[in-house]
Amino acid sequence: MRHFLTLKDFSREEILEIIDIGLEIKKNLNSKIYNHELKNQTLGMIFEKSSTRTRVSFEVGMFQLGGHALFLSSRDIHLGRGEPVKDTARVISSMCDMVMIRTFEHSKIEEFARYSKVPVINGLTDSYHPVQLLADYMTLVEYGMEKNIIAAYVGDGNNMTHSWMMLAAKLGFELRVATPKGYEVDAKILEEALAFAKKSGAVIKIVNDPKEAIKGATVVTTDTWVSMGQEEEKEERIKTFKGFMVDDEMMSLAKEGAKFLHCLPAYRGLEVSDSVFEKHSEIIFNEAENRLHAQKGLMVWLDRKRG
Ligand code: CP
Ligand code: NVA
């Protein structure tokens, strides 16, 4: 049995296999051949933070695979009132066939997984957002952009950045990360990503100048400057991140035909200009839709691994 907590636990082949299943399911959406794949299975979905895409895509995805999804807000279950993670894990995994969790500390999902009898999926923690990267890479494949990727991530060194680093490190492409000073990526995660990069041939560069990162990039991406849980730092962050907005001038430094991705929700006028967002809205909303297809691929893959 496997869990999906971060991409660092997955090989290049496994990541590509999950994405392939997702693409296959997407291609056959109307023929409905995957409609019974997870028949009678229940996905428990624990949310300690807000969500639009993650909730809808997992719930719809499970339904389309013949199963059922259970939305569990931490406000409504005892986890939010102090029932231990390990007890919650043992109870929920005794009744559900798979569990997806969106929470704060990454250690919490690791603890849950240790006590869970069923596969656990990371639907975002403070440190990683790996399901988003499955959808992002699937989108690049669909747009024929997966060869010779030079990706530039501009903005906060956060869960999205860490997941981009792991994807690059595992798949072996170039990633430049530009953050303001003091908002760099986690040093330990960087060290781990660099160790994987050595084996895969990936190049991961960390800079503080967004222009340096974007120059010649084939894919440019960013994320909110104020992640969930950082609301109190909003004003200070907006001041510090000035100069990191991906606007037309920044995009003009990228390679001709470069694509812009955003995991959403996007804050126009902050991390991305309205003009860049709207010019790339087709790929951005395909990326959002691919959350559904990629995660269906993931759930099918996890189910098959369980035997
Ligand atoms: N990108 C993403 O995970 O969106 P939600 O926060 O809406 O789930
Ligand atoms: N970094 C953001 C991603 C939202 C999908 C957050 O954690 O809030």
pLDDT tens for residues 83-134? 999 999 999 999 999 999 999 999 999 999 999 999 999 999 999 999 999 9
CA distance 196 to 170: 6
Instruction: Retrieve residue 226's tokens.
Output: 């104020």
Where does the pLDDT of residue 208 fall: very low under 50, low under 70, confident under 90, or very high at 90 and above? very high
Nearest ligand, CA 158:
2
Atom 3 in ligand 1: residue holding the nearest Cα: 54
* Residue 41 in this model has a pLDDT that exceeds 90: yes
Surface-to-core class of residue 31, CB atoms within 10 Å of its CB (0-12 exposed, 13-18 middle, 19+ buried): exposed
Q: Percent of the chain scored above 70 by pLDDT?
A: 100
Of all atoms in ligand 2, which is nearest to the CA of residue 263?
5
Mean pLDDT of 141-156: 98
How many Å is the Cα radius of gyration of the chain?
19
Amino acid letter, 305: K
| 246-267: pLDDT as tens digits | 999 999 999 999 999 999 999 9
Domains and CATH numbers, the chain: 7-129+291-305 (3.40.50.1370), 132-287 (3.40.50.1370)
Q: Which pLDDT score, from 0 to 100, does residue 169 have?
A: 98
Where does the pLDDT of residue 152 fall: very low under 50, low under 70, confident under 90, or very high at 90 and above? very high
Q: Which pLDDT score, from 0 to 100, does residue 30 have?
A: 86
* Residue 31 in this model has a pLDDT that exceeds 90: no
Q: Which pLDDT score, from 0 to 100, does residue 32 have?
A: 82
Atom 2 in ligand 1: residue holding the nearest Cα: 53
Of all atoms in ligand 2, which is nearest to the CA of residue 124?
7
**Could you give the 3-state DSSP secondary structure of residue 269?**
coil
Atom 7 in ligand 2: residue holding the nearest Cα: 227
* Residue 35 in this model has a pLDDT that exceeds 70: yes
* Residue 307 in this model has a pLDDT that exceeds 90: no
CA distance 141 to 139: 5
Strand partners, 98: 43
